[in-house]
Structure 1
Amino acid sequence: MTNDLRARRLALLKEHFASEVAQEFDRTIATFADSPRYEIMPTGQVHDGEDQVIAYHRAQRTAFPDQRHENVRFHVADDDSIIAEFDLLGTNKGEFAGGAPTGKAFRVPTIAVFFFDGERLVNERVYLDSASMLRQIGRMDLLG
Structure 2
Amino acid sequence: MTDKSKSFGEVFDAHTFAEFQARDIEATMATMGGAPHVTHVPTMTGGHGLDGVRKFYETWFIGKWPADTVVTSLTRTIGETGLVDELIISFTHNCEMPALLPGIAPTGRKVTIPFVVAVGFDGDKISYERIYWDQASMLVQLGLLDKTALPVTGAEQTARLLDPNLPSNTLIPK
- Aligned mates of 2:65, 2:142 — CA distance in 1: 11
Please report how far the alpha carbon of residue 37 of structure 1 lies from its aligned counterpart in structure 2 after TM superposition. Answer: 1.5
- Aligned mates of 2:116, 2:33 — CA distance in 1: 21
Q: 1:65 to 1:56 in 2, by over 3 A?
A: farther
Q: If the length of structure 2 is used for normalisation, what is the TM-score?
A: 0.69
Higher percent of residues as helix: 1
- Aligned mates of 1:128, 1:53 — CA distance in 2: 20
**Number of the residue aligned with 1:132:** 137
- Aligned mates of 2:33, 2:75 — CA distance in 1: 23
- Aligned mates of 2:56, 2:145 — CA distance in 1: 22
Please report how far the alpha carbon of residue 53 of structure 1 lies from its aligned counterpart in structure 2 after TM superposition. Answer: 3.0
Matched, 1:73 2:75: yes
Name the % identity. 26
Aligned residue type for 1:45: T
Aligned residue type for 1:71: S
Please report how far the alpha carbon of residue 25 of structure 1 lies from its aligned counterpart in structure 2 after TM superposition. Answer: 2.2
Any unmatched runs of 5+ in structure 1? none
Q: 1:139 to 1:27 in 2, by over 3 A?
A: farther
Structure exhibiting the larger radius of gyration computed from Cα positions: 2
Moved over 6 A (4+): none
2:24–2:62: 8 Å Cα contact kept in structure 1?
A: no
1:64–1:91: 8 Å Cα contact kept in structure 2?
A: no
**Number of the residue aligned with 1:118:** 123
Q: If the length of structure 1 is used for normalisation, what is the TM-score?
A: 0.81
- Aligned mates of 1:107, 1:84 — CA distance in 2: 16
- Matched residue pairs, number? 139
Q: 1:73 to 1:126 in 2, by over 3 A?
A: same
Deviations 1:77-97 (A, max 9, x none): 2x3021111102222112353
**Number of the residue aligned with 1:92:** 93
- Aligned mates of 1:130, 1:108 — CA distance in 2: 9
Question: More relative contact order in 1 or in 2 (CA 8 Å, sep 6+)?
Answer: 1
Aligned residue type for 1:25: I
- Aligned mates of 2:53, 2:3 — CA distance in 1: 29
Any unmatched runs of 5+ in structure 2? 147-174
**Number of the residue aligned with 2:83:** 82
Please report how far the alpha carbon of residue 135 of structure 1 lies from its aligned counterpart in structure 2 after TM superposition. Answer: 1.4
